[in-house]
Structure 1
Amino acid sequence: MTVRRGGRPLVPAYLSTGGVARPSRPQLERLTVLTGSGTPAPADLPAAQLALLEALDGGSLTVVEAAALLELPVSAVRVLAADLVDRGLALARPPIPPAERFAPDLLKRVADGLRALKHD
């Protein structure tokens, strides 16, 4: 078994996902926002999924943030999150798209309008 710096063993990602290599929801991206649904976790929930649910308790995280917090690869967290969403234990929403570009002269028109108000 390989050992990480700090003496902790490196656990293969497939062990945390129960051997599943691909998420059931391929639309889960690195910046997909995960939130717990508030549904109580079943007693037979695997430890990695339980840890993810606990991380989501009371807030939201992106997939990449959850991966960093749990010290798991993003690919493993995508699999875990997809299963939690399938079970109704978590919610996932797409990342917020970047704002559309505004018209180049918009700031100039706003500034001109503010100046006109100031002089009235």
Structure 2
Amino acid sequence: MTRWMDEEAGPVVRPYALVGGRTRSSGDALDLVALVTATGTTPSGGFVPGPEQERILALVTTATSVADVASEIGLPLGVVRVLLGDLQDHGLISIGRASASERILKEVINGLRAL
């Protein structure tokens, strides 16, 4: 039997296998610009974060957007939302809203009009 291999990453695994085939979680409603921050708490209830979730936790020591998390770890957004939902359900991350001041929004609108 031939195994698909990536010389740097090892065996190639389909992204949905990382989340046990699930396509929905509490992370489904996460906005792309929502800010994710690790809470620094330890997992409880027997939950053990997987390698991808450990990478996420290491990445979000400072507030990072959902889109940036997906881009940085190289996984599809749907998979990242499921992983984030699991981490949120276990209290390992907090989700905040990105705040944009009115001045910044006006500058963006004026810049778009100038195009």
TM-score, normalised to structure 1, is 0.67
Q: Distance in 1 between matches of 2:34 and 2:68?
A: 10
Question: 1:3: Cα distance to partner?
Answer: 7.1
Q: Tell me the SS of whatever aligns to 1:22.
A: coil
* RMSD value, Cα: 2.6
Of the candidates 27, 30, 51, which is equivalent to residue 55 of structure 2?
A: 51
Paired residues in the alignment total: 100
Q: CA deviation at 1:2?
A: 6.8
SS in 2 for 1:52: helix
Q: Tell me the CA shift for residue 29 of structure 1.
A: 1.4
1:88 CA displacement: 0.3
Percent of aligned pairs with the same amino acid? 26
TM-score, length-scaled by structure 2 = 0.69
- Structure 1 unaligned blocks of 5 or more: 102-120
**Are the counterparts in 1 of residues 28 and 82 from structure 2 also a CA contact under 8 Å?**
no
In structure 2, how many angstroms separate the alpha carbons of the residues matched to 1:98 and 1:2?
49
What code does the residue aligned with 1:72 have? Answer: L
Partner of 1:83: 86
Flag structure 2 segments of 5+ consecutive residues without an equivalent.
Answer: 107-115
Q: Structure 1 residues 53 and 72, CA, compared in 2 at 3 Å: closer, same or farther? A: same
State the one-letter code of the partner of 2:18: S
**Structure 1 residue 19: Cα displacement:** 1.9
Name the stretch that deviates more: 43-52 or 27-36. Answer: 43-52
Q: Whose Rg is larger?
A: 1
